Amino acid sequence: MNMRRLACACAAAILVLVVALPRAQSVYPTGTTIYDPDRAWNGYTVLSPLGTQAVVVIDMNGTVVKRWEGYNNSAGGPARVLPGGFVVGASGARPPHQESLELIQRDFASNIIWRFSRAEEITTRGDSAIWSARQHHDWQRESFPGGYYSPENSPAVDRDNTLILTHTNRMQPKVADRLLEDDRLIEVSWNGEVIWEWVASDHIDELGFSADARTAIKAASGFNAARGSFDWLHINSATYVGPNRWFDQGDTRFAPNNVIISSREASLLAIVGRDGSIAWRLGPDFTESKELRAIRQIIGQHHAHLIPKGLPGAGNLLVFDNGGSSGYGFTSPIAPDGRGAFVRPTSRVLEINPVTLELVWSYTNPRFFSTNISGAQRLPNGNTLVTAGAGGRMFEVTREGAIVWEYMYPLFSGANSSNAVYRAYRVPYGWIPQLMAPREQRVTPPALGEFRVP
């Protein structure tokens, strides 16, 4: 199937599915709606809600057991909890740019332990010059592979390097003739020194774009007048590859301190080598081989990472394949400018062998869809914690597809009312020793045909 026919087929599929879906509800249950303590991997769940300027921790029954105020998840992406009850996340915002001003680490009592803001000097709306991290979407500590819990790893709480995904503005004529809001990776020491950096537009020739895709990018139809720049690649996750079996077997593409990135706008995943070159790539064209055709087109994906050592599936790529629309390179009735022509109104979670490109495991459902944000975490018992972030739904699913825990973040009223959650992480109870381990109570939902609002 050629690219034009693929786009038309996707457009037809979206119409069929939209017609088939039921009318939207106006009443939803919130909190924990399903919980099987015997089949779930029990612990605290760390939430990064977009409409709440806080990091929220809940137990398995949905009770809020801890909040750290002063974070901005909508600008900076995920917050993570470290052993001992420490939290790291983004703070401050620079509208209309989707970026935070700094990263901050606090202890359990909210005392500031570490902060970073000196990536670039910027001008605020009041024409004041300040230093900013310009951080967006992701960050990770070097001693924390995958950014989440594994029984084989205990991340440091100090003296650690930090990988930060940032913005930088620049002109790059081989990309487009407009100012780019480019993606810049930096690694900073504990003392705040920038010790490594990489800028995406320097490597456009290595990213596998077709001639038609380069033409569409060059046209810069996604130029944002409010920002005064073109967010051409829109990288939405950046993660250290981490220790893995592929590197242990001699495959240097998967060196632990290389960085795996995900571009939503281009439907592209890649590993950046420490010398700056692209060491490995998946997409943007998923018709290039029978293995990629078996995976099928990945669209608008988030949270691409290798499953850390010590967990089932270690070394495989785990990614939340959002769907929605993305991609450059050909025109169709829904993408006359060659931008956003891949379309799918459902999401998938994919586990892929990054060497053979075998699709090892996937989860999908006709009504499973989060058009943006979102993520997935492999748990020690082999289950996967999924964040369907746009609708504020988190759930734990077995390899057989059974949901053994589900939580719906509530919608609060107010100027920033939203129940969206950027990403969720499960940590052991012992990682927050200041809290007493909670009582776990099974939650069995009523049969759908019997549920009534009094």
Q: How confident is the model over 167-208, as pLDDT tens digits?
A: 999 999 999 999 999 999 999 999 999 999 999 999 999 999
Span 120-134, average pLDDT: 89
- 178 strand-pairing partners: none
Helix, strand, coil in percent for the chain, rounding step 5: 15, 40, 45
Tokens of 328: 């450059």
- pLDDT per residue over 221-273, tens digit each? 999 999 999 999 999 999 999 999 999 999 999 999 999 999 999 999 999 99
From CA 148, how far away is CA 266, in angstroms rounded? 26
- Contact between 210 and 285 under an 8 Å Cβ cutoff? The reply is yes
- DSSP code of residue 438: P
Span 396-422, average pLDDT: 89
Count Cβ atoms within 10 A of the Cβ of residue 451 and give its class: 0-12 exposed, 13-18 middle, 19 or more buried: exposed
Provide CB contacts within 8 A for 399, sequence distance 6+. Answer: 361, 382, 383, 384
Q: In this structure, is residue 98 part of a structural domain?
A: yes
Percent of the chain, pLDDT > 90? 87
pLDDT at 7: 42
Residue (of 137, 138, 143, 90) closest to 117 by Cα position: 90
Report the chain's mean pLDDT, rounded to a whole number: 93
Residue 212 has pLDDT above 50, yes or no: yes
Q: In this structure, is residue 369 part of a structural domain?
A: yes
Q: In this structure, is residue 66 part of a structural domain?
A: yes
Residue 447 has pLDDT above 80, yes or no: yes
- pLDDT per residue over 74-110, tens digit each? 999 999 999 999 999 999 999 999 999 999 999 999 9
DSSP 64-111: EEEEEES--HHHH---EEETTTEEEEEE--BTTBS-BSEEEEE-TT--
Q: In this structure, is residue 452 part of a structural domain?
A: no
Residue 342: HSE in the Cβ half-sphere, 13 Å Cα cutoff: 28
pLDDT at 257: 97
Provide CB contacts within 8 A for 26, sequence distance 6+. Answer: none
Percent of the chain, pLDDT > 70? 94
Q: In this structure, is residue 34 part of a structural domain?
A: yes
Q: Is 257 helix (H, G, I), strand (E, B) or coil?
A: coil
Work out the pLDDT band at 18, boundaries 50, 70, 90.
very low
Q: In this structure, is residue 441 part of a structural domain?
A: no
Instruction: Find the domain containing 82 and state its range.
Output: 3-20+28-436
Tokens of 127: 């024409």
CB atoms within 10 A of CB 391: 17
Q: In this structure, is residue 449 part of a structural domain?
A: no
pLDDT at 330: 82
Please tell me the total count of domains within the chain: 1
Q: In this structure, is residue 273 part of a structural domain?
A: yes
CATH code of the domain in which 396 resides: 2.130.10.10
